[in-house]
Every structure is written in C-alpha cells, then in structure tokens.
Amino acid sequence: MQEVIQKMLEVEDEGRRLVQQARKDAREAVQRAQQEAEARAQQAIEQARREAADLVAKAETDAQREKQRLLAQRLEHLHQTLQVAPSDADQAVEALRRAVLGL
C-alpha cells in the first residue's frame, strides 16, 4: 500500500512538473511570437518610411522639373513679348523724333 501511495505521489509530482514545463514552454512560445511580431512590425514601419521617402523624393524631383519647364515656358513667352521687329522700332523712333522736333 505504501508503494501505491508513493507511486501516486510520484505520478502527481510528475504531472505538476509536466504542467509547469508546458506553461513555461507556452510562455516562451508567446514571448517568441511577440518578439517576432514586433520585429515584423518594425520592418514594415521601416519599409513604409523608405517608400514614403522615395515618394517624397520623386514628388520633389517632378515638382522641380515642372517648375523648370514652366520657367522656361514663361521665359520664352517673355522673349517673344519683348522682341520688337526692326520696322516697328524704326516707326517708334520716327514717332519720337517727330514728337521731339514738333513735326
């Protein structure tokens, strides 16, 4: 009888030890999963930051190109507006000469 009780106590202790080990293993598995999730989340955040930085850089480059295009277009328009045909210049000079001389 003593041996049966002793065996029951040993089985109970073994059961407790197995439960404790299972809990420990479960906690470690959860901790590893959390660490993995955090690492993946951090990687996703870094990837998103890189993609956002690339998009901003592309937008800045595109905006700079558009600015240069508009500037060149306006400069060309200004040159066309300010160009005076020689005959128009001659007429203006003649009109000024007459106005000054009172003719």
Task: Please provide the average confidence, as pLDDT, over all residues in the chain.
Answer: 93
pLDDT at 88 over 80: no
pLDDT in tens, 25-48: 999 999 999 999 999 999 999 999
Report DSSP letters for the chain, one per residue: -HHHHHHHHHHHHHHHHHHHHHHHHHHHHHHHHHHHHHHHHHHHHHHHHHHHHHHHHHHHHHHHHHHHHHHHHHHHHHHHHH---HHHHHHHHHHHHHHHHT-
Q: What is the pLDDT of residue 98?
A: 87
> pTM to 2 decimals?
0.54
